[in-house]
Amino acid sequence: MDRQAAKQTVIAEIDRRADDLLRVSREIHSHPELAYEEHFAHDVLTAAIADAGLPITPHAYGLDTAFASVTGPSDGPLVAVLCEYDALPGIGHACGHNIIAAAGLGAGLAAAAVADALGGRVLILGTPAEEGGGGKQKLLDAGAFAGVQAAMMVHPAGSDLATMAAIAVQNLTVRYFGRAAHAAARPWEGVNALDAAVLGYTNVAALRQHIRPTERIHGIFVKAGDKPNIVPDYAEGFWYVRSKDLRSLEPLKPRVLAALEAGALATGCTFEYQWHDTPYADMIDNGSLLDLYTANAAQLGRVVVASDERTVVVGSTDMGNVSYSVPAIHPMIKAAPEGCAIHTKDFAVHAASPLGDQAVLDGAKAMAMTIVDFWLEPSARQAAKAEFDHALEPH
């Protein structure tokens, strides 16, 4: 089977499965689940893979809501297509992970249909807990990416973009401990933990004036007292600390921590902190793979462009951790009107709209065709590997 015939075959396979793929997307969208709680999505996706006659390992790699399916000859070049399916608290699939899951499923099933004929292997990998849980890092640690030569996924957005401005992040929990007292009768006996948290927040706000344009700090109060007439004896904050890459993130972390701890010092509270154990790396987008994807998306009528100030999507993803281990891409696919930002209620609506449905099918097709190119073109595999190796060299 030549390349063009193979591409036509995977397109036809996705068209044949279109109703099922869109059903999967809509069902996951209507059952939003948080990190590591994605039992419904796990079952829907694994059932679809099993119904297609492919091998499936549910609850894979020690993660209850992960799964893996590998098809193709054991000596073939291995490409991983990643599915995400966790949602956000309060606003559901406002990041469109239902689209990511269904597009990844479609690409994997289509590639599996030609894997033996083309001598390639495809891994459909279910990756839970992208929204803060670090599922992909846990899969990396468990060996899920052993032997993988390329990894890919598509992420919905308001435009067709080659890349997301994915920067490094590490999460931080801070706790302030004071002493309760009656706020009217004997306030002088209290040590106000909420005051400590507020001062820490204000200190970070001042710090923001003196950080780099590529750095971000943002946080919320998780616990801030029980009643106004009780001096709060406990307060808790949850913070994201972001920077351009893992290297520049490290010197920013103690600056943030010092600003937050100063609130405790000023109020006489005691202070505890916990850096969460899975930092997200910046994304190393593999240009060789992106060129293949972009050309294939163009065949579907999608013009994939570089982001600018108007269209750029800034955030963090554990796909960045994958990109430090294997050549990887994370293009953005238009699933909402231009200017509609992810992580909003409006975007959640569009993730289950005709635009979202088209993103599922086109994303699946563009990735499946890219897998065909990667399997059939040794020079593409060599270029992706050489670029990946160069990106990891010290500069």
Instruction: Give, for all 395 residues of the chain, the pLDDT tens digit.
Output: 899 999 999 999 999 999 999 999 999 999 999 999 999 999 999 999 999 999 999 999 999 999 999 999 999 999 999 999 999 999 999 999 999 999 999 999 999 999 999 999 999 999 999 998 999 999 999 999 999 999 999 999 999 999 999 999 999 999 999 999 999 999 999 999 999 999 999 999 999 999 999 999 999 999 999 999 999 999 999 999 999 999 999 999 999 999 999 999 999 999 999 999 789 999 999 999 999 999 999 999 999 998 776 778 888 999 999 999 999 999 999 999 998 999 999 999 999 999 999 999 999 999 999 999 999 999 999 999 999 999 988 76
Cβ-proximal residues to 23 (8 Å cutoff; 6+ apart), any chain: none
**13 touches 109 (CB < 8 A):** yes
Cα 336 to Cα 262: distance, rounded to the nearest angstrom: 43
pTM of the model: 0.90
> If residue 177 lies in a helix (H) or strand (E), which one and from where to where?
strand 168-177
The per-residue pLDDT for 395 is 64
For the chain, list the domains and their CATH numbers: 3-165+282-391 (3.40.630.10), 168-275 (3.30.70.360)
Cα 111 to Cα 90: distance, rounded to the nearest angstrom: 35
Cα torsion at 36, 144, 290, 103 (round to 10°)?
-50
